[in-house]
A and B are shown apart, each in its own frame.
Chain A
Protein backbone atom coordinates (compact mmCIF):
# COMPACT_ATOMS: atom_id res chain seq x y z
CA UNK A 1 0.00 0.00 0.00
CA UNK A 2 2.87 2.40 0.68
CA UNK A 3 4.01 1.87 -2.91
CA UNK A 4 0.56 3.02 -3.95
CA UNK A 5 0.81 6.17 -1.78
CA UNK A 6 4.29 6.93 -3.10
CA UNK A 7 2.91 6.74 -6.60
CA UNK A 8 0.05 9.08 -5.72
CA UNK A 9 2.57 11.55 -4.35
CA UNK A 10 4.69 11.24 -7.45
CA UNK A 11 7.57 9.36 -5.84
CA UNK A 12 8.70 6.10 -7.33
CA UNK A 13 10.81 3.81 -5.21
CA UNK A 14 10.33 0.74 -7.33
CA UNK A 15 13.71 -0.80 -8.01
CA UNK A 16 13.34 -0.82 -11.80
CA UNK A 17 13.17 2.98 -11.76
CA UNK A 18 16.20 3.22 -9.52
CA UNK A 19 18.07 0.91 -11.88
CA UNK A 20 17.13 3.09 -14.85
CA UNK A 21 18.12 6.37 -13.21
CA UNK A 22 21.43 4.95 -11.98
CA UNK A 23 22.22 3.46 -15.37
CA UNK A 24 21.49 6.76 -17.12
CA UNK A 25 24.24 8.47 -15.15
CA UNK A 26 26.71 5.60 -15.36
CA UNK A 27 26.35 5.33 -19.14
CA UNK A 28 26.95 9.04 -19.74
CA UNK A 29 30.32 8.78 -18.04
CA UNK A 30 31.21 5.34 -19.44
CA UNK A 31 30.62 6.57 -22.99
CA UNK A 32 32.81 9.63 -22.71
CA UNK A 33 35.47 8.48 -20.31
CA UNK A 34 34.77 11.71 -18.45
CA UNK A 35 34.55 11.13 -14.71
CA UNK A 36 31.98 13.29 -12.86
CA UNK A 37 34.81 15.14 -11.06
CA UNK A 38 36.51 16.01 -14.35
CA UNK A 39 33.36 17.67 -15.63
CA UNK A 40 33.48 20.01 -12.61
CA UNK A 41 37.15 20.83 -13.30
CA UNK A 42 36.32 21.50 -16.95
CA UNK A 43 33.57 23.90 -15.88
CA UNK A 44 35.92 25.83 -13.55
CA UNK A 45 38.55 26.22 -16.27
CA UNK A 46 35.92 27.24 -18.79
CA UNK A 47 34.72 29.99 -16.42
CA UNK A 48 38.27 31.23 -15.90
CA UNK A 49 39.03 31.40 -19.64
CA UNK A 50 35.79 33.06 -20.69
CA UNK A 51 36.00 35.59 -17.85
CA UNK A 52 39.19 36.92 -19.39
CA UNK A 53 37.17 38.09 -22.42
CA UNK A 54 33.71 38.87 -21.16
CA UNK A 55 31.99 39.27 -17.81
CA UNK A 56 29.85 36.27 -16.94
CA UNK A 57 27.66 35.03 -14.09
CA UNK A 58 29.91 32.28 -12.70
CA UNK A 59 27.25 30.82 -10.40
CA UNK A 60 24.74 30.44 -13.22
CA UNK A 61 27.10 28.55 -15.56
CA UNK A 62 25.91 25.07 -16.43
CA UNK A 63 28.03 22.44 -18.18
CA UNK A 64 26.15 19.24 -18.95
CA UNK A 65 26.23 16.17 -21.10
CA UNK A 66 23.24 15.80 -23.38
CA UNK A 67 22.13 12.59 -25.11
CA UNK A 68 20.75 12.29 -28.59
CA UNK A 69 20.41 8.60 -29.34
CA UNK A 70 23.93 7.29 -28.80
CA UNK A 71 25.42 10.72 -29.63
CA UNK A 72 26.74 12.70 -26.70
CA UNK A 73 26.96 16.45 -26.69
CA UNK A 74 28.61 18.74 -24.19
CA UNK A 75 26.29 21.66 -23.54
CA UNK A 76 27.61 24.80 -21.85
CA UNK A 77 25.15 27.51 -20.87
CA UNK A 78 27.07 30.63 -19.89
CA UNK A 79 24.91 33.64 -19.01
CA UNK A 80 26.66 36.96 -19.55
CA UNK A 81 26.38 39.66 -16.95
CA UNK A 82 23.84 42.25 -18.06
CA UNK A 83 25.32 45.51 -19.41
CA UNK A 84 23.22 47.59 -16.97
CA UNK A 85 24.63 45.60 -14.08
CA UNK A 86 28.15 46.13 -15.40
CA UNK A 87 27.65 49.92 -15.52
CA UNK A 88 26.30 50.02 -11.99
CA UNK A 89 29.26 48.04 -10.72
CA UNK A 90 31.81 49.85 -12.87
Chain B
Protein backbone atom coordinates (compact mmCIF):
# COMPACT_ATOMS: atom_id res chain seq x y z
CA UNK B 1 0.00 0.00 0.00
CA UNK B 2 1.25 3.44 -0.83
CA UNK B 3 -1.26 6.11 0.09
CA UNK B 4 -2.10 9.14 -1.99
CA UNK B 5 -2.15 12.34 0.01
CA UNK B 6 -5.07 14.61 -0.89
CA UNK B 7 -5.20 18.12 0.58
CA UNK B 8 -8.49 20.02 0.57
CA UNK B 9 -8.07 23.79 0.54
CA UNK B 10 -9.96 26.91 -0.53
CA UNK B 11 -8.57 30.28 0.43
CA UNK B 12 -11.90 31.65 1.56
CA UNK B 13 -13.34 30.22 4.76
CA UNK B 14 -16.62 28.42 5.13
CA UNK B 15 -16.94 27.10 1.57
CA UNK B 16 -17.10 23.43 2.59
CA UNK B 17 -13.57 22.05 3.05
CA UNK B 18 -14.32 20.16 6.25
CA UNK B 19 -17.62 18.83 4.91
CA UNK B 20 -15.90 17.66 1.72
CA UNK B 21 -12.96 16.07 3.56
CA UNK B 22 -15.23 14.12 5.92
CA UNK B 23 -17.47 12.93 3.11
CA UNK B 24 -14.81 12.00 0.58
CA UNK B 25 -13.12 10.06 3.38
CA UNK B 26 -16.32 8.25 4.35
CA UNK B 27 -17.12 7.42 0.73
CA UNK B 28 -13.63 6.02 0.12
CA UNK B 29 -13.76 4.03 3.35
CA UNK B 30 -17.23 2.70 2.54
CA UNK B 31 -15.71 1.37 -0.67
CA UNK B 32 -13.19 -0.66 1.32
CA UNK B 33 -10.23 1.72 1.22
CA UNK B 34 -8.11 2.46 4.26
CA UNK B 35 -8.36 6.19 4.89
CA UNK B 36 -6.67 8.50 7.40
CA UNK B 37 -7.99 12.05 7.79
CA UNK B 38 -5.80 14.76 9.27
CA UNK B 39 -7.35 17.95 10.63
CA UNK B 40 -4.93 20.66 9.57
CA UNK B 41 -6.89 23.45 11.22
CA UNK B 42 -4.90 23.77 14.44
CA UNK B 43 -6.63 26.04 16.95
CA UNK B 44 -10.01 25.74 15.19
CA UNK B 45 -10.53 22.02 14.91
CA UNK B 46 -13.81 20.90 13.39
CA UNK B 47 -13.23 17.73 11.44
CA UNK B 48 -13.77 15.77 14.69
CA UNK B 49 -17.33 17.11 15.19
CA UNK B 50 -18.26 16.85 11.52
CA UNK B 51 -17.15 13.20 11.55
CA UNK B 52 -18.87 12.62 14.90
CA UNK B 53 -15.68 11.54 16.69
CA UNK B 54 -15.24 14.43 19.12
CA UNK B 55 -15.85 12.37 22.28
CA UNK B 56 -13.04 9.97 21.60
CA UNK B 57 -10.09 12.34 21.31
CA UNK B 58 -7.19 11.61 23.64
CA UNK B 59 -4.15 12.75 21.69
CA UNK B 60 -3.82 15.17 18.78
CA UNK B 61 -1.41 16.00 15.97
CA UNK B 62 0.74 18.28 18.12
CA UNK B 63 1.16 15.46 20.67
CA UNK B 64 2.48 13.30 17.84
CA UNK B 65 4.83 15.96 16.48
CA UNK B 66 6.16 16.79 19.96
CA UNK B 67 6.62 13.13 20.84
CA UNK B 68 4.04 12.81 23.63
CA UNK B 69 2.40 9.83 21.95
CA UNK B 70 2.95 7.40 19.13
CA UNK B 71 1.26 8.08 15.80
CA UNK B 72 -1.13 5.10 16.19
CA UNK B 73 -2.33 6.43 19.55
CA UNK B 74 -3.54 9.67 17.94
CA UNK B 75 -5.49 7.84 15.24
CA UNK B 76 -9.17 7.61 16.23
CA UNK B 77 -10.98 4.83 14.45
CA UNK B 78 -14.47 5.47 13.12
CA UNK B 79 -16.26 2.29 14.16
CA UNK B 80 -19.09 2.72 11.64
CA UNK B 81 -16.83 2.07 8.66
CA UNK B 82 -14.23 -0.64 8.10
CA UNK B 83 -11.07 1.46 8.00
CA UNK B 84 -11.50 5.16 8.59
CA UNK B 85 -9.28 7.10 10.99
CA UNK B 86 -8.93 10.69 12.17
CA UNK B 87 -5.87 12.46 13.51
CA UNK B 88 -7.40 15.49 15.23
CA UNK B 89 -5.93 18.98 15.35
CA UNK B 90 -4.87 20.51 18.66
CA UNK B 91 -7.43 22.98 19.89
CA UNK B 92 -5.34 25.01 22.31
CA UNK B 93 -2.22 25.53 20.24
CA UNK B 94 -1.49 27.67 17.19
CA UNK B 95 -0.44 26.77 13.69
CA UNK B 96 3.26 27.24 14.35
CA UNK B 97 3.27 24.17 16.59
CA UNK B 98 3.54 22.13 13.36
CA UNK B 99 5.86 22.77 10.40
CA UNK B 100 5.58 21.73 6.76
CA UNK B 101 8.41 19.20 7.25
CA UNK B 102 6.58 17.74 10.30
CA UNK B 103 3.59 17.16 8.00
CA UNK B 104 5.74 15.52 5.34
CA UNK B 105 7.32 13.20 7.94
CA UNK B 106 3.95 12.33 9.46
CA UNK B 107 2.45 11.46 6.08
CA UNK B 108 5.51 9.42 5.11
CA UNK B 109 4.95 7.34 8.25
CA UNK B 110 1.30 6.79 7.29
CA UNK B 111 1.78 6.22 3.59
CA UNK B 112 2.93 2.61 3.63
CA UNK B 113 -0.02 1.48 5.70
CA UNK B 114 -3.04 3.20 4.09
CA UNK B 115 -4.69 3.91 0.73
CA UNK B 116 -5.63 7.54 1.26
CA UNK B 117 -4.55 10.39 3.52
CA UNK B 118 -6.97 13.33 3.41
CA UNK B 119 -5.87 16.65 4.91
CA UNK B 120 -8.42 19.31 5.80
CA UNK B 121 -6.68 22.65 5.30
CA UNK B 122 -7.57 25.77 7.27
CA UNK B 123 -8.88 28.86 5.46
CA UNK B 124 -6.29 31.41 4.39
CA UNK B 125 -2.91 31.11 2.71
CA UNK B 126 -0.60 31.24 5.72
CA UNK B 127 1.23 28.64 7.79
CA UNK B 128 -1.69 26.24 8.20
CA UNK B 129 -2.23 26.15 4.45
CA UNK B 130 1.50 25.65 3.80
CA UNK B 131 1.52 22.80 6.32
CA UNK B 132 -1.45 21.18 4.64
CA UNK B 133 -0.09 21.26 1.09
CA UNK B 134 3.50 20.29 1.91
CA UNK B 135 2.89 16.50 1.79
CA UNK B 136 0.15 16.63 -0.90
CA UNK B 137 0.14 14.49 -4.02
CA UNK B 138 -3.18 15.99 -5.11
CA UNK B 139 -4.59 19.37 -4.07
CA UNK B 140 -8.35 19.78 -4.24
CA UNK B 141 -9.59 23.38 -4.22
CA UNK B 142 -13.15 24.02 -3.10
CA UNK B 143 -15.13 27.07 -4.07
CA UNK B 144 -18.71 28.32 -4.10
CA UNK B 145 -20.22 29.90 -7.24
CA UNK B 146 -19.78 33.37 -5.83
CA UNK B 147 -17.30 36.20 -6.55
CA UNK B 148 -15.13 36.29 -3.44
CA UNK B 149 -14.87 32.50 -3.18
CA UNK B 150 -13.85 32.19 -6.86
CA UNK B 151 -11.31 34.98 -6.52
CA UNK B 152 -9.71 33.37 -3.47
CA UNK B 153 -9.75 29.96 -5.15
CA UNK B 154 -7.78 31.46 -8.05
CA UNK B 155 -5.18 32.75 -5.62
CA UNK B 156 -4.83 29.33 -3.99
CA UNK B 157 -4.61 27.58 -7.37
CA UNK B 158 -1.76 29.95 -8.28
CA UNK B 159 0.07 29.24 -5.00
CA UNK B 160 -0.36 25.49 -5.47
CA UNK B 161 1.19 25.81 -8.93
CA UNK B 162 4.06 27.89 -7.57
CA UNK B 163 4.76 25.18 -4.97
CA UNK B 164 4.81 22.64 -7.82
CA UNK B 165 1.85 20.80 -6.31
CA UNK B 166 -0.41 21.54 -9.26
CA UNK B 167 -2.50 21.30 -11.23
CA UNK B 168 -5.12 21.55 -8.52
CA UNK B 169 -8.55 19.99 -9.06
CA UNK B 170 -11.75 21.89 -8.42
CA UNK B 171 -14.93 21.16 -6.47
CA UNK B 172 -17.76 23.68 -6.82
CA UNK B 173 -19.95 23.38 -3.72
CA UNK B 174 -23.36 24.80 -2.78
CA UNK B 175 -24.71 25.23 -6.30
CA UNK B 176 -28.34 26.39 -6.31
CA UNK B 177 -29.78 25.10 -9.60
CA UNK B 178 -32.80 27.36 -9.42
CA UNK B 179 -30.67 30.51 -9.12
CA UNK B 180 -28.41 29.30 -11.93
CA UNK B 181 -31.46 28.88 -14.15
CA UNK B 182 -32.51 32.45 -13.41
CA UNK B 183 -29.06 33.68 -14.36
CA UNK B 184 -28.40 34.90 -10.83
CA UNK B 185 -25.64 32.42 -9.98
CA UNK B 186 -22.41 31.60 -11.84
CA UNK B 187 -22.67 28.37 -13.80
CA UNK B 188 -20.16 25.53 -13.59
CA UNK B 189 -18.94 26.51 -17.07
CA UNK B 190 -18.43 30.14 -15.95
CA UNK B 191 -16.33 29.09 -12.97
CA UNK B 192 -14.29 26.62 -15.02
CA UNK B 193 -13.63 29.21 -17.71
CA UNK B 194 -12.45 31.73 -15.10
CA UNK B 195 -10.25 29.36 -13.11
CA UNK B 196 -9.06 27.20 -16.02
CA UNK B 197 -8.48 23.99 -14.05
CA UNK B 198 -9.88 20.46 -14.05
CA UNK B 199 -13.24 19.81 -12.45
CA UNK B 200 -13.38 17.09 -9.81
CA UNK B 201 -17.00 17.58 -8.82
CA UNK B 202 -20.06 19.73 -8.37
CA UNK B 203 -22.14 19.63 -5.21
CA UNK B 204 -25.59 21.17 -4.81
CA UNK B 205 -26.78 23.18 -1.85
CA UNK B 206 -28.54 20.58 0.27
CA UNK B 207 -30.29 21.00 3.65
CA UNK B 208 -29.38 17.45 4.51
CA UNK B 209 -25.73 18.51 4.79
CA UNK B 210 -26.68 20.52 7.87
CA UNK B 211 -28.78 17.65 9.25
CA UNK B 212 -25.98 15.13 8.79
CA UNK B 213 -23.48 17.53 10.36
CA UNK B 214 -25.83 17.99 13.33
CA UNK B 215 -25.78 14.24 13.82
CA UNK B 216 -22.10 13.72 13.08
CA UNK B 217 -22.85 11.16 10.38
CA UNK B 218 -21.47 11.57 6.85
CA UNK B 219 -23.97 12.52 4.17
CA UNK B 220 -22.49 9.98 1.74
CA UNK B 221 -24.23 7.32 3.83
CA UNK B 222 -27.61 8.98 3.12
CA UNK B 223 -28.88 7.34 -0.06
CA UNK B 224 -31.50 10.04 -0.67
CA UNK B 225 -29.24 13.09 -0.60
CA UNK B 226 -28.06 14.62 -3.87
CA UNK B 227 -25.05 16.15 -2.11
CA UNK B 228 -24.23 12.68 -0.79
CA UNK B 229 -24.38 11.35 -4.33
CA UNK B 230 -22.09 14.17 -5.45
CA UNK B 231 -19.47 13.34 -2.81
CA UNK B 232 -19.66 9.63 -3.65
CA UNK B 233 -19.02 10.52 -7.29
CA UNK B 234 -16.06 12.67 -6.29
CA UNK B 235 -14.56 9.78 -4.32
CA UNK B 236 -14.88 7.55 -7.37
CA UNK B 237 -13.22 10.14 -9.62
CA UNK B 238 -10.32 10.37 -7.13
CA UNK B 239 -9.88 6.63 -7.63
CA UNK B 240 -9.66 7.15 -11.37
CA UNK B 241 -13.19 6.21 -12.43
CA UNK B 242 -14.85 8.42 -14.99
CA UNK B 243 -18.26 9.31 -13.58
CA UNK B 244 -20.56 11.80 -15.32
CA UNK B 245 -21.22 15.04 -13.47
CA UNK B 246 -24.64 15.54 -11.89
CA UNK B 247 -26.95 17.65 -14.01
CA UNK B 248 -27.49 20.49 -11.59
CA UNK B 249 -27.36 23.72 -13.47
CA UNK B 250 -28.11 22.92 -17.07
CA UNK B 251 -30.82 24.80 -18.92
CA UNK B 252 -32.82 21.58 -18.95
CA UNK B 253 -36.60 21.37 -18.86
CA UNK B 254 -39.02 22.73 -21.39
CA UNK B 255 -38.96 26.27 -19.99
CA UNK B 256 -35.19 26.40 -20.05
CA UNK B 257 -35.09 25.31 -23.66
CA UNK B 258 -37.73 27.83 -24.76
CA UNK B 259 -35.89 30.64 -23.01
CA UNK B 260 -32.70 29.46 -24.67
CA UNK B 261 -34.25 29.99 -28.09
CA UNK B 262 -34.61 33.71 -27.48
CA UNK B 263 -31.16 34.30 -26.16
CA UNK B 264 -28.89 35.86 -28.78
CA UNK B 265 -26.10 33.47 -29.59
CA UNK B 266 -27.90 30.82 -27.58
CA UNK B 267 -25.04 31.01 -25.02
Q: Which residues of A contact B (CB under 8 A)?
A: 3-4, 7-8, 10, 12, 14-17, 19-20, 22-24, 26-27, 30-31, 67, 69-70
The answer to whether B97 has its CB under 8 Å from any CB of chain A is: no
Specify which chain B residues have a CB less than 8 angstroms from the CB of A31 in the assembled complex. Answer: 154, 158
Question: How near does chain A come to B197, taking the closest CB pair, in angstroms?
Answer: 7
A residues near B262, Cβ cutoff 8 Å: 4, 7-8
What's the dominant secondary structure at chain A's contact region?
helix
Which A residues are in CB contact (< 8 Å) with B165?
none
Question: In the complex, are the beta carbons of A14 and B194 less than 8 A apart?
Answer: no
A70 touches B157 (CB 8 A): yes
Cα(A6)–Cα(B182), bound, Å: 14
Known contacts A7-B262, A22-B147, A23-B194: does B158 contact A16 (CB below 8 Å)? no
Given A23-B151, A26-B151, A27-B151, decide whether A16 and B264 contact each other with a Cβ distance below 8 A. Answer: no
Q: How many whole Å from A26's CB to the nearest CB in chain B?
A: 6
Kindly state the separation between the CA atoms of A50 and B132 in the bound complex, as whole angstroms.
Answer: 48
A27-B194 contact given A14-B184, A16-B183, CB 8 Å threshold: yes
The residues of A that contact B184 with a CB separation of less than 8 Å are 14-16
What would be 24 A-B contacts, judged by CB atoms less than 8 Å apart?
A7-B262, A8-B264, A12-B183, A14-B182, A15-B183, A15-B184, A16-B183, A16-B184, A16-B185, A16-B187, A16-B190, A19-B186, A20-B190, A20-B193, A20-B194, A22-B147, A23-B150, A24-B194, A27-B154, A30-B151, A30-B158, A31-B154, A67-B196, A70-B196
Q: Tell me the smallest distance from the CB of A51 to a CB of chain B, in Å.
A: 35
Q: Which residues of A contact B263 (CB under 8 A)?
A: 7
